[in-house]
Amino acid sequence: MPKATFYNLNKEKREKIDNAIKKEFSRTSFSNASISRIIEDAQIPRGSFYQYFEDKEDAIKYTIENFIETEKKEMKKILEKNNGDIFQAMIDLYIHVVQQNEKQEDLNLCRNILQRLKEDNISIITESRKENLKNKMDDKNIVNKQKLNLRDEKDFEYIIKILTIVVRNETIQVISKLKDKDQGKKDIEREIELLKEGLAKK
């Protein structure tokens, strides 16, 4: 994550660097992204970049963490709007992410982030952060657990994990233009319906 020197910058300069990072990570994949282009767009010396970040990977983690924090806040609002219905909330989260990333530059950045999370199985995010997300939804009783078939607390974590994978994979397909957003919505609704009904015959 960024060093203290980055957060000590004034807001305008911090935003300029942030925008340069997002622009480069929107232009190409994380692996092909160039620090040279970041510092050129941000109009800072190369040495300054390393005063703010350890390396390119550090800037990648910073970008992904910002995305996740924004997603967490939006998820809380969506859950409250749906009276804790986690299934409908996940469908609405898909709609939100797709709508918020309709510009090509935003689509590219979102795709890169989601692909990285998929490849790393969210290992780039610490276990404590995943626990914080669970606690944020659990401790404040945001999720209506009466609608969930839970044997124990671990089952709640499994449900969140499974639904997150469903939403992420459908979103990646849509922003990668493998299907349109309406078809993505239909598919995610059916997938969640199957999960709610159960997959085995009774």
177: left (phi over 0), alpha (psi -120 to 50) or beta: left
Does the pLDDT of residue 131 top 80, yes or no? no
End-to-end C-alpha distance for the chain, whole angstroms: 49
Encode pLDDT of 62-71 as tens digits: 998 888 888 8
When pLDDT is cut at 50, 70 and 90, the band that residue 88 belongs to is: very high
Does the pLDDT of residue 117 top 90, yes or no? no
CA atoms in the 13 A half-sphere facing the CB of 29: 5
Q: For residue 104, what pLDDT is reported? A: 75
Encode pLDDT of 133-192 as tens digits: 455 454 446 888 888 989 988 898 889 889 988 998 999 899 888 999 999 999 999 999
Does the model's pTM come out above 0.75?
Answer: yes
H-helix segments, the chain: 4-7, 11-27, 35-42, 46-52, 56-81, 86-100, 104-119, 127-138, 153-175, 181-197
Q: Three-state SS string across 89-133, please?
A: HHHHHHHHHHHHCCCHHHHHHHHHHHHHHHHCCCCCCCHHHHHHH
Q: Is 24 helix (H, G, I), strand (E, B) or coil?
A: helix
Closest of 180, 179, 93 to residue 133, by C-alpha: 93
Encode pLDDT of 27-50 as tens digits: 998 999 999 999 999 999 999 999
Q: Is 29 helix (H, G, I), strand (E, B) or coil?
A: coil
Q: For residue 140, what pLDDT is reported? A: 47
Q: Can you tell me the distance from the alpha carbon of 38 to that of 45, in angstroms, rounded to the nearest whole number?
A: 10
When pLDDT is cut at 50, 70 and 90, the band that residue 125 belongs to is: very low
When pLDDT is cut at 50, 70 and 90, the band that residue 8 belongs to is: very high
User: What are the φ/ψ torsions at residue 53 (nearest 5 degrees)?
Assistant: -135, 150
Encode pLDDT of 70-82 as tens digits: 888 888 899 999 9
Q: Are 40 and 17 in contact (CB under 8 A)?
A: no
CATH 1.10.10.60 fits 1-54, yes or no: yes
